[in-house]
Structure 1
Amino acid sequence: MSWKKQVAGLGTAAVLAVSVVLGGGLSATAAEAPELSLAGTEATENRIIELVAAYDRSTKQLDLSEVSTETLASDEGNAFVAAVSPARSDPASASAAVEAGFVALRQALIASGEPMTRGTDDDPSALSFALASGVTITYPSATGARVSGGADPWPYVQLTGAEQQAMVTGASATLVAAICALLGPETAGIGCGVGAAVIGTIVGIIVANGVCPNDKEMRIYPLAGTTGFSCQ
């Protein structure tokens, strides 16, 4: 079964994710991926909703008493806390998990046969993919994920104004479904695996900093730290 069919099979509970995952759709790979579990994607999405609800944007404070121990101990929880409140987290651990997530996503996107765009102003060999509707991810030409010199650190994720508006309220179904579908083989179909840290970081940076003005797109550099973003 192709990844596209697996995501579509998640049912009405994931209808927002199903309708927009990866824009042009995912291609079947030579090795069939295991069935993708709705419970796995819901668990990550629910943790993100819980974390966003506990963050007070007016005071820029995260109320840890409103977050369960299980959520705080999760990859997405650690990454989210590192993005919104670095003093309360282990930044090194969060960064390592996020980097592992980006490496896994790069490998999965290439293996999927998903259409890519090659080249940026900094690197004519860079690779860009439509990770989800309104969300693109760009990697350097070198293998893996890293931070390099130049105008833009690597890798980076770019989001439209509409996706920023959705994620700032905790509505991350699009991103969760796309990443969980891509990394299904890694987790035997039961969750998002190392991709959970990527999700937590992206949503955390948007929640902590707000959406870009004038409907500008936001470019996030997850491996560059909590201030790693710009409006384009």
Structure 2
Amino acid sequence: MKKFKWCLWLTGVLVILLTASSLNACSLGGETIPQNRTKEQYEFEKTFDPMFKFLEQEQKDFNGLEAYKSRVYIKNGDEVKRYEIDLDITKADGKGDYRIQIGENKKTVPVSYSNGKLHYDSEIDPLFDEEILNLVVKRDVFDSLNVKRTLRTGATELSEIIYQSETQSELFQKLKSKYDLPEETTCQIRVDYSDKTNYGITIQLTSKEMSVKIGLTIIKKRG
């Protein structure tokens, strides 16, 4: 009788463990699918790995790239500011342009990039924010977000993931502080690629009076 009760107890424990495991995640060919992803979302998200790996780098590796673009758009009431770096990685020292537009005023200066730093051919104010230029976004930021919508089009070979808005990540708190945004600010992240060569991320922080949009694009060499 004692042996029978012990077997029943052991069976119950195994059922509980298996149930808990199935609630936390499911398995796909030895890989664990997170609870906040469907199988389709998980598989689709893996196609964005080149962008995720680039964003994780503390020191950006431009090997295999043709171009790199970094931009910041700030709208505060009626005032609009745009800052953009466009680098041609095929040229020595990653030569390119830095463009500023504040209201109707525009200015462009040639720049080069080496060792994580921008070098300007002439004076300009303000300089581009190098923390944004070398923006680091760890993979666990994306893993923690729920997927709002995915898009895949055959005609333009465009693939896109839009994540649910969030206000908890360290990345969000850091950017909110950087741009002095109010407490009601929310953050939404979108990643996309086209033709399997052009990968991008857009981080948009929005409040009632102010909006900040940060974008990075990498263009990989073909073949």
With normalisation by structure 2, the TM-score equals 0.28
Greater helix share, structure number = 1
Give the number of the structure whose alpha-carbon radius of gyration is greater: 2
Higher strand proportion (structure 1 or 2): 2
- The alignment's TM-score, normalised by the length of structure 1, stands at 0.27
